[in-house]
Amino acid sequence: MQDTPDLNVSATTPDWSREAVRRFWDPGQKLLRAIRRYQAAQARGGLLGKLSAKRWVLTHLFWSVVTQSEIHLNTQIAGGLRLTHPTGIIIHPDAKIGPNCMIFHQVTLAGAVELGGHVDIGAGAKVLGPLRVGDDARIGANAVVTCDVDAGQTVVGIPARPI
């Protein structure tokens, strides 16, 4: 598995293989699987759906503690999200994450942040919404983003500025 940005990834079509659990210890993928299965159980409804949802809540809680991350169960996440090092990631429930994004460790998405497709967010970055980040944008490590980021743009610094 690579930890560097992949330039051949689509900003519109989810690559579900990026979320596949490949090893016993894949905490990021297992956290995402718990979120996806919880959302599917909620959508199914009925008694079986409710029981299944409770199981996935417990699984989500376990992986949240292991990764020390806070990703709400109802967060809108498109396919192909990669949590390369899933420690300390905090994502607000109103955030929307586009397809094939990559989020490194210690990232915070605060408020109604909307990420486009194939957005890469470096370690320690803080994105303070409400704002929109366009497709194929990159946010540098430890950047503090306080305003919209255009598609294809790279922003770095405090406050984040395009380079």
| Domain harbouring 34, CATH code | 2.160.10.10
Pick from 109, 18, 37, 31: nearest CA to 68: 31
Q: How far is residue 29's CA from residue 70's CA, in Å, rounded to a whole number?
A: 14
The sign of the torsion formed by the CA atoms of 138, 122, 25, 62 equals negative
Does 7 reside within a domain?
Answer: no
> Is residue 146 situated within a structural domain?
yes
pLDDT digits (tens, 9 = 90+) for 39-89: 999 999 899 999 999 999 999 999 999 999 999 999 999 999 999 889 999
**C-alpha dist (Å) from residue 119 to 32, 34, 35, 81, 85:** 17, 22, 20, 10, 16
- Mean pLDDT estimate for the chain: 92
Most distant CA pair in the chain, distance: 53
The model scores a pTM over 0.85: yes
Q: Number of folded domains in the chain? A: 1
Mean pLDDT (whole number) for 128-146: 95
Angle at Cα 18 formed by Cα 61 and Cα 51, nearest 5°? 35
